[in-house]
Amino acid sequence: MEANPKRQRLIDAAKTMFYTRGVEPSSLGEIARAAEVPPGNVYYHFKTKDALIEAVIASHGQDILEGLARLNAQADPRARLLAFVRGGLAHGEQLARYGCPYGTLCAELEKTPGSVADSATVLFPLYLHWLERQFAGLGQADAADLALDTLAAVQGAYVITHSTRSPQYLERQVARLEGWIQGLEPGENIRA
């Protein structure tokens, strides 16, 4: 948690509201009320809504890094990859209702280009670099391509799950990816 609890509550409330309602419809006043922070105090911590969005992006980046660190506790790259593709299953209903918190944020910000949209471009490379290291650890020569294939397959499943409001598509894709990862042999260059 950050040193300033009010600032952190504002970031946490904004993360939730941006995810469940979207960035544009979420006003600073509503975020302040959700954070139980007097509306005038928002400007002490964040001079603009863009500054708050930047803080949310940074917080999401930290969340991703912490999640990947937890996956690193798995015994080997294959186990880590399996845990990664299974990660969304615990949130199937949430993904069906709101989509991926990172993907939806990035997609929404891309519709209003500027420095804030540019800042969000750091999120998915965190996953890509980590996935690439896992595939390299399995002896895959095209680890970077496999990382992209895997992230695209997972994110695609999240989009379809959200668009159809049906977690069954995520479950099907995860089962398919599990079989593929379990069958990878060192040095094989099979596409997902």
pLDDT tens per residue across span 114-128:
779 999 999 999 999
Hey, what long-range contacts does 1-8 have (CB within 8 A, 24 or more apart)? 4/45, 6/35, 6/37, 6/41, 6/45, 7/45, 7/55
Q: The whole model's pTM is what? A: 0.92
CA torsion, points 95, 96, 97, 100, in degrees to nearest 10? Answer: 30
Q: Which residue has the tokens 């937890």?
A: 70
User: Which tens digits make up the pLDDT trace of 49-73?
Assistant: 999 999 999 999 999 999 999 999 9
User: Which tens digits make up the pLDDT trace of 140-178?
Assistant: 999 999 999 999 999 999 999 999 999 999 999 999 999
Residue (of 153, 156, 160, 165) closest to 96 by Cα position: 165
Residue (of 37, 36, 41, 15) closest to 26 by Cα position: 15
Q: Which residues does 3 contact at the CB level (< 8 Å), separation at least 6?
A: none
* Domains along the sequence of the chain with CATH: 1-47 (1.10.10.60), 59-183 (1.10.357.10)
